[in-house]
């Protein structure tokens, strides 16, 4: 059983933004889909897990952009799960061209029991014969983000097209909603080098997300909250 999944890929128009390069939210979507394909190969995909009353739960994701590949460029995608801890585990991702890593990413995830909402040990779901690939895209931990109110600048109503099989807003949909709170000039002008998102609570169709931000010059801290103040997601953007 192969722990590392590798796929040759052409950057398709549907994943590109107004600059003609792979979009920021689309990169997160691409990595999510890549993990889903590999999970099916490992027999731990969502349909199999749901039959066991279990569900993948993404805790946070960070992606670093050294260079965003452009439309129709040929690249190589790869992903692998790292050895799990007690309750959580990481999965690494890369986009390479000619042997050079141009985009890297990492997701921290866990397993949720759907009927009890309790966490299950991440190691429980993997086949016993699986040997974990020892590499990691980076060793440093995820960012600790303070849960603090920031300045409100936009609102977003969760739509039916944002909802996934779990019945709540899909992970990648947060970033597409976030990008839409900025103009094209503002979004492209950030020259985003790294984006990290931490998911705190689920939200559902019809909910109103209040987007808040604090601009720190070379970084942007953002928070999505419900009208009652409950934090839904936190985001940290490093600008180029």
Residue 140 lies in a domain: no
Is residue 52 located within the same domain as residue 106? yes
For residue 33, the domain's CATH number is: 3.10.129.10
Residue 169 lies in a domain: yes
pTM reported for the whole predicted model = 0.94
Residue partners of 104: CB distance under 8 A and separation at least 6: 63, 64, 66, 92, 93, 94, 95, 137, 138
Is residue 161 located within the same domain as residue 118? no
Residue 192 lies in a domain: yes
Q: Closest Cα to residue 62, out of 182, 187, 208, 234?
A: 234
State residue 76's pLDDT score.
98
Is residue 60 located within the same domain as residue 163? no
Is residue 117 located within the same domain as residue 221? no
- Reading the chain (240 residues) residue by residue, the pLDDT tens digits are 678 999 999 999 999 999 999 999 999 999 999 999 999 988 888 888 888 888 888 999 999 999 999 999 999 999 999 999 888 999 999 999 999 999 999 999 998 888 888 888 888 888 888 888 889 999 999 999 999 989 999 999 999 999 998 899 999 999 999 999 999 999 999 999 999 999 999 999 999 999 999 999 999 999 999 999 999 999 999 998
Is residue 29 located within the same domain as residue 64? yes
Establish how many alpha carbons lie within 13 A of residue 30's alpha carbon, considering only the half-sphere containing its beta carbon: 29
Domain carrying residue 161: 151-239
Is residue 18 located within the same domain as residue 112? yes
Is residue 114 located within the same domain as residue 223? no
State residue 134's pLDDT score.
85
Establish how many alpha carbons lie within 13 A of residue 47's alpha carbon, considering only the half-sphere containing its beta carbon: 4
Residue 57 lies in a domain: yes
Residue 131 lies in a domain: no
Is residue 119 located within the same domain as residue 167? no
State residue 121's pLDDT score.
86
Q: How many domains does the chain have?
A: 2
State residue 1's pLDDT score.
64
Torsion on CA atoms 80, 85, 87, 90, rounded to nearest 10: -30
If phi over 0 gives left and psi between -120 and 50 gives alpha, with beta otherwise, what is residue 90?
beta
10, two tokens: 């052409």
């Amino acid at each position: 059983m192969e722990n590392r999944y590798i796929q040759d890929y052409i950057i398709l128009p549907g994943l590109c933004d107004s600059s003609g390069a792979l979009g920021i939210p689309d990169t997160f979507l691409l990595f999510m889909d890549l993990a889903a394909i590999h999970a099916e190969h490992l027999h731990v995909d969502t349909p199999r897990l749901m039959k066991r009353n279990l569900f993948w739960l993404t805790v946070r994701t960070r992606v670093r952009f050294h260079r965003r590949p452009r439309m129709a460029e040929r690249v190589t995608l790869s992903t692998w799960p790292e050895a799990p801890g007690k309750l959580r585990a990481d999965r690494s991702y890369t986009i390479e061209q000619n042997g050079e890593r141009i985009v890297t990413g990492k997701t921290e995830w866990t397993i949720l029991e759907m009927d009890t909402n309790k966490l299950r040990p991440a190691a429980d779901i993997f086949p016993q014969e699986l040997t974990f690939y020892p590499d990691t895209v980076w060793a440093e931990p995820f960012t600790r983000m303070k849960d603090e109110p920031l300045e409100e600048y936009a609102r977003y109503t969760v739509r039916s097209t944002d909802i996934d099989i779990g019945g709540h807003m899909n992970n990648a949909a947060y970033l597409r909603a976030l990008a839409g709170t900025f103009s094209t000039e503002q979004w492209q002008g950030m020259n985003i080098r790294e984006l990290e998102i931490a998911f705190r609570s689920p939200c559902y169709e019809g909910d109103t997300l209040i987007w808040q931000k604090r601009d720190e010059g070379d970084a942007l801290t953002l928070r999505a909250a419900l009208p009652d103040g409950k934090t839904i997601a936190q985001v940290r953007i490093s600008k180029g």
